[in-house]
């Protein structure tokens, strides 16, 4: 039955990683894979995570299933992290959630859940958006349309065009927003722009679907959730996919949360039964280890303080790299204005060069990035910054 299957091309980022690993140039730089790296190019295990894991291994007494929703402690702690203590939706008992295998698991579970509520509903996603949004949402049955978001020519938001397009979205449709640290462009909505969108959602009746993959990597845990929390105060129903991969450094543990906000508690109970049925028919129930680590950190004052300090250190390093990159490109004489990189947030930015220039950087300088020129800022360091900027300057002049 499998003889007729054809080969598919490798995922662009995974293919890029394979090429990078095979490259023997000692000066090679990987700016493709979206994981945090320290100055040594290593993705560390946070000390708060190590301590929580040590405590867990000492105290754990069973490996029994945790159930389709995960643990109540994890869900309560994550809901409060995302929405903030005392949020009206929490106070009104209108929030339900489930631990998922990463943010990807959350997106897929919520997409299938939305498809149950309205089969083949339309979901609008930003142009550009994270490449995996399309298969995760589309393969669940949702119909995908796009709205303008980022202008590569000016390296800025197309907010007016975004608003004009979203004016046609109505009740029964969903709009996917990036909560913060937009992947792939790094250009985030302002508080005033979030207010405009919240008013549109309230007036038009569309359902916001917010992807929160980088809380704490932009300005702070609370500031990065501003738009999400505002939207949750403005609309009766909303979906949220949250990831613990980046801010807890738990990439391989695959920890996320699928959260839904409902009109009232009764609707929430009915909706949760459907959401958990989706989980049961998909992966049955989530793994526990990573979720137990997150729960331990968020519910212990000492561990949480240590984690927040480490998260601040990661965020400040990325912001420092952004500033340093702009200064180094100027110093290297690179043609163009790159100040937009310093104004953006999170792990990613478009460098703003052509696919041909991206290819030349890879072939001649062993610098790896995807064709769109999206770079992972955390792949830079004080050790490789000068070489990277000099290489970009040479390519831009050739």
Nearest Cα to 10, choosing from 131, 140, 104, 129? 131
Task: With beta carbons less than 8 A apart as the criterion, state whether 96 and 259 touch.
Answer: yes
Q: Which of 30, 188, 194, 211 is catalytic?
A: 211
**Virtual torsion, Cα 345, 315, 246, 291, nearest 10 deg:** -130
Of 269, 246, 241, the residue nearest 257 (C-alpha)? 241
Please check the confidence at residue 203 and state whether its pLDDT lies above 80: yes
Beta pairing partners, 196 = none
Q: What is the mean pLDDT of residues 381-391?
A: 96
- 55: nearest Cα among 299, 255, 309: 299
Q: Are 246 and 217 in contact (CB under 8 A)?
A: yes
Closest-CA residue to 141 (of 177, 105, 108, 99): 108
Domains with residue ranges and CATH for the chain: 12-44+315-397 (3.90.1150.10), 65-299 (3.40.640.10)
User: How big is the chain, counted in residues?
Assistant: 398
What's residue 13's pLDDT? 79
**C-alpha–C-alpha distance, residues 218 and 239, integer Å:** 21
- pLDDT surpasses 80 at 294: yes
Percentage above 70 pLDDT, the chain:
100
Tell me what pLDDT residue 398 has.
82
Residue 46 CB partners (closer than 8 Å, separation 6+): 248, 249, 307, 310
Q: What is the pLDDT of residue 84?
A: 98
Residue 10 has pLDDT above 80, yes or no: no
Average pLDDT over residues 267-289: 97
Q: pLDDT value at position 17?
A: 85
Q: How far apart are CA 28 and CA 32, in angstroms?
A: 12
DSSP character for 377?
G
120, 142 contact by CB (below 8 A): yes
Least confidently predicted of 4-18, 33-47, 214-228: 4-18
Which ranges constitute the DSSP H helices of the chain?
Answer: 12-22, 47-59, 72-83, 88-91, 102-117, 133-138, 159-166, 191-204, 221-224, 226-234, 265-280, 289-298, 301-331, 340-343, 355-365, 385-397
Are 313 and 374 in contact by the 8 Å Cβ rule? The answer is no
Q: Are 20 and 368 in contact (CB under 8 A)?
A: yes
**What average pLDDT score do residues 23-50 get?**
94
pLDDT for the residue numbered 33:
81
In the prediction, which pLDDT does 204 show?
97
Residue tagged active-site, from 28, 37, 158, 246: 246
102-117 and 265-280 are packed helices; what angle lies between their axes, rounded to 10 degrees? 120
Is the Cβ–Cβ distance between 112 and 142 less than 8 Å? no
To the query of whether residue 63 is one of the catalytic residues in this protein, the response is: no
- pLDDT digit string, tens, across residues 60-74: 999 999 999 999 999
User: Which of the residues 30, 37, 124, 130 is marked catalytic?
Assistant: 130
Residues 6+ apart with CB under 8 A from 309: none
Mean of per-residue pLDDT scores for the chain: 96
Residue 11 has pLDDT above 90, yes or no: no
Q: Is 130 a catalytic residue?
A: yes
Closest Cα to residue 124, out of 201, 17, 215? 201
Evaluate if residue 175 carries a pLDDT over 80: yes
* Secondary structure of residue 367 in the 3-state scheme: strand
Q: What is the pLDDT of residues 84-121, one digit of tens each?
A: 999 999 999 999 999 999 999 999 999 999 999 999 99
Q: What DSSP string runs through 13-49? A: HHHHHHHHHH---TT-EE--S-----TTS--PPPHHH
Exposed / middle / buried, residue 22 (Cβ in 10 Å: 0-12, 13-18, 19+): exposed
Buried b (16+ CB within 10 A) or exposed e, 85-100: eebebbeeebbbbbbb
The answer to whether residue 211 is catalytic is yes
Average pLDDT over residues 354-382: 95
Q: What pLDDT does residue 380 have?
A: 96
């Amino acid at each position: 039955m499998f003889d007729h299957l054809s080969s598919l091309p490798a995922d662009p980022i995974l293919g890029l990683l394979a090429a990078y690993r095979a490259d023997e140039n000692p000066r090679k730089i990987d700016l493709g894979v979206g994981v945090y790296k320290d100055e040594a190019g290593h993705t560390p295990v946070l000390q708060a995570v190590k301590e929580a894991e040590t405590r867990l291994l000492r105290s754990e007494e069973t490996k029994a299933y945790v159930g389709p929703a995960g643990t109540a402690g994890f869900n309560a702690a994550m809901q409060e992290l995302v929405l903030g203590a005392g949020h009206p939706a929490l106070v009104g008992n209108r929030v339900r959630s489930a631990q998922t295998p990463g943010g990807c698991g959350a997106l897929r579970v919520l997409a299938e859940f939305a498809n149950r509520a309205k089969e083949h509903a339309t979901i609008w996603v930003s142009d550009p958006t994270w490449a995996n949004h399309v298969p995760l949402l589309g393969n669940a049955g949702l119909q995908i349309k796009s709205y303008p978001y980022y202008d590569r020519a000016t390296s800025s938001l197309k907010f007016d065009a975004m608003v004009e397009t979203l004016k046609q979205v109505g009740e029964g449709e969903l709009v996917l927003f990036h909560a913060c640290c937009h992947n792939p462009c790094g250009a985030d909505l302002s508080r005033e722009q979030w207010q405009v969108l919240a008013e549109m959602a309230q007036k038009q009746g569309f359902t916001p679907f917010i992807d929160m993959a980088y809380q704490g990597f932009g300005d702070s845990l609370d500031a990065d959730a501003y738009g999400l929390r505002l939207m949750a105060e403005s609309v009766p129903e909303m979906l949220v996919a949250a990831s613990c991969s980046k801010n807890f450094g738990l990439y391989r543990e695959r920890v996320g949360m699928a959260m839904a906000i409902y009109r009232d508690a009764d609707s929430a109970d009915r909706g949760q039964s459907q959401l958990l049925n989706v989980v049961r028919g998909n992966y049955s129930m989530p793994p526990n280890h990573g979720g137990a680590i997150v729960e331990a950190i968020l519910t212990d004052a000492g561990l949480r303080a240590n984690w927040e300090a480490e998260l601040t250190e990661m965020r400040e390093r990325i912001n420092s790299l952004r500033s340093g990159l702009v200064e180094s490109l100027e110093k290297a004489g690179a043609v163009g204005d790159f100040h937009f990189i310093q104004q953006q947030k999170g792990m990613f930015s478009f460098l703003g060069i052509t696919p041909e220039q991206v290819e030349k950087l890879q072939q001649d300088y062993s610098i790896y990035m995807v064709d769109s020129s999206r770079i992972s800022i955390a792949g830079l360091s004080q050790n490789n910054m000068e070489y990277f900027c000099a290489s970009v300057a040479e390519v831009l002049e050739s």
